[in-house]
Chain A
Amino acid sequence: MTDGIWVIAGIVSLLILVSGAVLSYKDSRFGLISAIIAVIVAFIASSITGSFGYVVFVLAISLLNIFSLEAMQNDIKGIDYGLVGLIALATMFILNTDDLAYVLTALVIVSVPTYILVMLREGAVDVEIGVKYIVFMVFATVLFLIGAIIIASGAEGIMLTLGYVMLVVGLSLEVGVAPLHEWVPDVFAAADPIPVSVIASIAKIVPFVAAFRILASTPDVEIAAISLTAVIAAFSMFVGNIGALTAREHARVLAYSTVANMGYMLTCLVAVSVSVSHVSVSHAHKEVQMAALLGGVLLLFANAAGKIGFFNAIKGEGACSPLLYTLSFSFIGVPPLLGFWGKFFILISLVSAALAAQFHWLYWLAGILVLNSAVSIPYYIRLARELGSCWKANITNYIVAAATVITLITVFLYIPVAWFPADIGSIEIPISLPAAGG
């Protein structure tokens, strides 16, 4: 039934997107309107079949991404809205299915449009950046898919570890976790800020949710492999923050901030693997997974809102100062802003998992996460100070204001501590892996 509603809604949305893209050759506004309608149709279908809380955030972020494209002219004006719309559909869908094939399809649907978006510039196409980005992304996606398939085939022992490592490495390359982050600063600094704001925001959600759900369905992963992931996570946090502290160009600071944020995200995968793979944590199995998923998606939403805001500020050569400070504080993790709740639930998951005797070292991972949050303060404040200006009534300022509203929504404490956890709690996180017998 659930899949049925979604298949119909998905087809309708795709038809709307394609029609809009075709008609946009006449007038680019068709592309804009069709993207908005398609995303809203998918939102309604997702609200019926899955987590309302999750999709409402995705809707808000995707609409911001779509509207921010208004701030740039490019050679495929009109189609670009459709590409972002396509990413939004897959992002909403990822929590609505428990089928591995659909999950992996969603990953590919999110990845491919970014290949085109990254090449867009004002009145031109930057093929060099595109080639660099595509090479990395294709490699990443292939690694991720092979890893997922090895895991799904019911592999054990060394093969399971191999599948796990390939999945984690593919993910790391895809989202820019250090030491596989080399493409991130170059692409973020060289490409136009608006497409980068898409790549750095909504496009980060699906890879993580896909990996999370696959790993939540994968027991018996070796502790050594999980520990390695934890080391990579910690390394990424340090590399990202040190890189951001020393970078001068705003886009590079944001690129390294992404590397750090993806390190935080990787800790969610550590917590979930610990919870499903080791009996000693079974007392808190469900709680650890739920806290990790909650923290992960909230941090991704906070990252998305912040990146959209800052890249639009770069595009508009400045934005209203108090808005940028609010976004900075959210990134730093100051409560009650959205970014805080992401880190809060991630820490809850790590601390809960750390209660098991052989995982006490997760306290250190939690400590490193906390330390890195503090280290990030100077560069976020610097960004806000350097990009901050007076309010101007233009599209980039409106986008920054809307992104700020998203980060402020958790001021109503009921949302992050009661409503959203209850909403996400209704989702069955593990998916059906064929070899596991569904």
Chain B
Amino acid sequence: MIFLLLVPLVAVFIAPLLSPRAASWLSSIAFSVPFFGVLYYLFAGFPPREIIFSAPAPVGEFYIFVDGISAIFSLSICAVSAMVALYALPYMEHRFREMGVNVEEEFRKYVFIYNLYAASMLWLVHCGNLIMLYVFLEIMLITAFLLIYMYGYGNRQWVGILYLIWCCIAGVLTLVGFLIIASENGTLSLDAIERVGIVAWAFIFAGMIIELPGLGPHVWLPWAHAEAPTPVSALLSPLTVGLAGYIMLRVALIDAVFFKVFTVPIFIYAAISSIYAGFSVFVQTDFKRLLAYSTVSQMGYILIALCLLGAGGEAAKFGAMGVSIQYMSHAFGKSILFCSAGGLIALFGMRDIEKMGGLHDVVPEISNAAVMGFMNLAGILTVGMFGEFFILRGVVEAFGMNLAYLLPVVFIFILSGWYGFYTMRKVFYGRPRSSVAASHMSAYLFVPLFVLGALSVLFFFPPFSSAWVPELFKAVGMGGSSVVSGGVSASAAVGGGLLP
């Protein structure tokens, strides 16, 4: 397993020595290797955890592992990182020319930071120690900051600092939570922690709700995601923010006391976040900013799924599955959409959707890719459908057929589809509002998008879905968890009609 994870790390240092084209391909291959490796494990069975070394208390063992949950996150990160690495070749060349800097020289710096950024996310989901996880979380935040600060749009330095300060506050709050866990348990090793107190949880939740983000602490997100260079937005929004959900999920699988105490308030907060951000999409005129608000709305799904872990039993299982699948579906969908928005910037320099319309006739490739992106967000015939199913099932398990809880969730699902089609109509269909002529478009700008779209459909159907759903079930029912004592087996899920 460790060799699979080392491949992207090696690429971090080799890629800057190559030409932009070779570096892009190397980066893409470097993330494809762990993708296929984890896929292989999904079918052949996961290897045992690998201990890197043991540290004295309160740090504990450092190890890496892969289970059903980390596999889902890992596959999403590898696939998106590999494809965006290719997409970035024409995009960043265009951006560097726009900035008036030496393309080749700047691409070396860019590809180093990009690969480090993506590799840190990959390591984060496979490491088995909270302090190790925190280290990768911070590397991820700092590399993203550097990419915004150096290559972003608008007042990029201000936006970069805004992002850095918010994320550092999020990081340190989480760290304080981890430290309290360390003091209470004498270890930070995931499989040795026995309990997570309410105080530790409060810090972790406060930190991760900034990172996720929820309504209120979300102020940094539209700025950072909109002003980042598009390949960075295509990792930030689809991958990075959702990892806050991963961290909370991992801690909740040990001890979900916080969600147990605050199930209803968190549910209400998550629903309001999702609905508010969903409606905010309609008032945005900047395409990337619109997508950023959609991210806040989608993260509301994840928070709803997380609060189900407090309900215990089967609701908790379905919640945990909902978090994982929603992450994958959002990763595929949102990376496609940001890359679509970036394609329009690279080709026509357009961001204002008031000036768009009718672009399907000019760039059908991008338009069709965007349709696949919104299908993921809306959960239509893609892996996102599983996500919505498990979240809804979890809500039913937790609250029964109580319409006060069911209706908001269903409305949120509808809202995603609604703003998806609204955006498609506004940008790609209808009457053109500007005269733009079709021009030559690099295949790098759309082929990676179709690959991601195809993956999101493939993961919906067997044999992929019949491989990952049972493994995910196993993972949420595994190890010292206080929330997953119920008895839904993988075969029951498959046999019970969960799979197509």
**A residues apposed to B, CB below 8 Å:** 284, 287, 325, 329, 332-336, 340, 344, 347-348, 351-352, 355, 366-367, 370, 373-374, 377-378, 381, 385, 413-414, 417-418, 421-422, 425
Contacts and interface: CB of A to CB of B under 8 A. Distances in A.
B247 to A, nearest CB: 15
B135 A366 contact: no
Interface stretch (B25-33, B174-182, B284-292): B174-182
A352 B183 CA distance: 6
A418 B182 contact: no
A342 B139 CA distance: 17
A317 B488 CA distance: 67
B173 interface: yes
Interface in B162-212: 164-165, 168-169, 172-173, 175-176, 179-180, 182-184
Contacts of A381: 161, 164
B58 interface: yes
Contacts of B56: 418, 421-422, 425
Chain B interface size band reads 20 to 34
Contacts of B52: 413-414
Nearest 4 CB-CB pairings of A with B: A417-B55, A418-B55, A335-B135, A370-B172
Given A287-B58, A355-B183, A367 B175 contact: no
B168 A377 contact: yes
B391 interface: no
A209 B312 CA distance: 50
Contacts of B179: 344, 347-348, 351, 366
Contacts of A333: 172
Contacts of A418: 53-56, 59
B164 A335 contact: no
A417 B131 contact: yes
B182 A335 contact: no
Given A348-B183, A355-B183, 16 more contacts: A284-B183, A287-B57, A325-B146, A335-B135, A335-B139, A347-B179, A348-B182, A370-B172, A370-B175, A373-B168, A377-B165, A413-B62, A413-B135, A418-B55, A418-B56, A418-B59
A347 B168 contact: no
Given A287-B57, A351-B183, A377-B168, A335 B176 contact: no
Interface string B48-83: 000011111111001000000000000000000000
A355 B176 CA distance: 13
Of the candidates A332, A370, A378, the one having the most CB atoms from chain B within 10 angstroms of its own CB is A370
Contacts of A352: 58, 183
Q: Find the residue from B55, B142, B173, B183 having the highest chain A CB count within 10 A.
A: B183
A18 to B, nearest CB: 42
16 contacts: A334-B142, A335-B135, A336-B138, A336-B139, A352-B183, A367-B176, A370-B173, A370-B175, A374-B172, A377-B164, A381-B164, A413-B52, A414-B53, A417-B55, A418-B53, A422-B56
A366 B142 contact: no
Contacts of A425: 56
A414 B135 CA distance: 13
Nearest to B180: A351
A414 B182 CA distance: 18
B176 A347 contact: yes
A385 B145 CA distance: 14
B58 A348 contact: yes
A325 B109 CA distance: 14
Contact of B175 (A347, A414, A417, A422): A347
Contacts of A334: 138, 142, 168
A229 to B, nearest CB: 21
Contacts of A374: 165, 168-169, 172
Contacts of A373: 168, 172
A347 B180 CA distance: 9
Contacts of B370: none
B132 interface: yes
B311 to A, nearest CB: 30
B176 A351 contact: yes
B134 interface: yes
Contacts of B168: 332, 334, 373-374, 377
Name, among A333, A348, A381, A413, the residue most crowded by chain B CB atoms within 10 Å (CB to CB): A413
Nearest to A373: B172
A78 to B, nearest CB: 41
Contacts of B132: 413
Contacts of A284: 183
A278 B401 CA distance: 55
A359 to B, nearest CB: 12
Interface string B437-462: 00000000000000000000000000
Interface string B111-141: 0000000000000000000011011001100
Contacts of B59: 417-418, 421
B161 A378 contact: yes
A332 B55 CA distance: 25
Contacts of B58: 287, 348, 352
Nearest to A350: B179
A422 B184 CA distance: 21
Which of A333, A335, A355, A381 gathers the greatest number of chain B CB atoms within 10 Å? A335
Contacts of A325: 146
A348 B184 CA distance: 11
Nearest to B170: A374
A421 B53 CA distance: 14
A336 B135 CA distance: 6
Nearest to A336: B135
Contacts of B53: 414, 418
A385 B150 CA distance: 11
Nearest to A376: B168
Given A334-B142, A418-B53, A370 B183 contact: no
A335 B54 contact: no
Contacts of B57: 287
A347 B173 CA distance: 12
Given A335-B134, A373-B168, A378-B161, A329 B142 contact: yes
Contacts of A347: 175-176, 179
A159 B65 CA distance: 57
B217 to A, nearest CB: 14
Contact of A421 (B55, B131, B157, B176): B55
A348 B135 CA distance: 16
A366 B183 CA distance: 14
A287 B168 CA distance: 27
Contacts of B176: 347, 351, 366-367, 370
Nearest to A290: B56
A268 to B, nearest CB: 15
Contacts of B54: 418
A348 B187 CA distance: 12
B2 to A, nearest CB: 14
A378 B168 CA distance: 12
A340 B139 CA distance: 12
A378 B145 CA distance: 13
A425 B176 CA distance: 23
A377 B170 CA distance: 14
Interface string B93-110: 000000000000000000
A413 B58 CA distance: 15
